[in-house]
Amino acid sequence: MLYLVPTPLGNLKDITLRALEVLQSVDLILCEDTRTSSKLLSHYNIQKPLSPYHQHNEHKVVQHLADQLAAGKTMALITDAGTPGISDPAFLLVRACVRQNIRVECLPGATAFVPALVNSGLPANRFAFEGFLPPKKGRHTLLTKLATEERTIILYESPVRLVKTLQEIGSYFGEDRQCSVSRELTKLFEETVRGTLKEVCDHYIAKPPKGEIVLVISPPS
């Protein structure tokens, strides 16, 4: 069977006891970056074979892995941080397993957008998670559509593109739309900045951001 195992966003203590038990029990651990995952596994003294599984090779290896699982091998899929499948590889392998009647089990655990949403102070009862915006093709169409979205919107963004994205969203949504930016979640320099799109943008123009970023935007007032 295949286990999808969430891993900590930064603080290594943010992993469940069950996740550790699963990682200790499987035949093989699939991971985005073996160097990153080795640090976590070493911290908990888990010694299991690792195999790379990421966006650059998943199309090539997915069927081979599914065949191994069908033959009786147990595997855990982890990413560098968070829950597999949430803006990270997992979908193709899960789909292949479902098609071959291979059992798949996803453990609960760390996902960056949940604490960012709850901590934002914006409505959390209904939300639209969009992950990363398209870099070019389809970006205008999507932003035009999201401008009238009646649910709270959640986006992922890189620090080098954050200011530009805030400015662009402000041009579609209006600069006075409320938003929240959470970065470095669970880490030493965790920060959440709240305000209008313009206020938050001005903040990060003055203080360029670092680390992984979750952007939460309120519905139209």
Q: What is the pLDDT of residues 80-125, one digit of tens each?
A: 999 999 999 999 999 999 999 999 999 999 999 999 999 999 999 9
Domain range list for the chain = 2-106, 113-217
Residue 13, both tokens: 């203590």
pLDDT tens, 7-46? 999 999 999 999 999 999 999 999 999 999 999 999 999 9
Can you tell me the mean pLDDT for 176-189?
Answer: 96
Under CATH, which number does the domain 113-217 receive?
A: 3.30.950.10
Strands ordered across the beta sheet of 2-4: 50-52, 28-31, 75-77, 2-4, 104-106
Residue 59 reports pLDDT greater than 90? yes
Residues 6 or more apart whose CB falls under 8 angstroms from that of 31 comprise: 37, 50, 51, 52, 53, 77, 78, 79, 80
Question: Which amino acid makes up residue 12?
Answer: L
* pLDDT-based confidence at residue 221 (cuts at 50, 70, 90): confident
CATH number for domain 2-106, candidates 3.40.1400.10, 3.30.1320.10, 3.30.70.2700, 3.40.1010.10: 3.40.1010.10
Q: What is the mean pLDDT of the chain?
A: 97
Residues 6 or more apart whose CB falls under 8 angstroms from that of 142 comprise: 130, 133, 134
User: Above pLDDT 90, what percent of the chain?
Assistant: 99
Residues 6 or more apart whose CB falls under 8 angstroms from that of 86 comprise: 111, 112, 113, 131
More confident residue, 221 or 57: 57
pLDDT at 171: 98
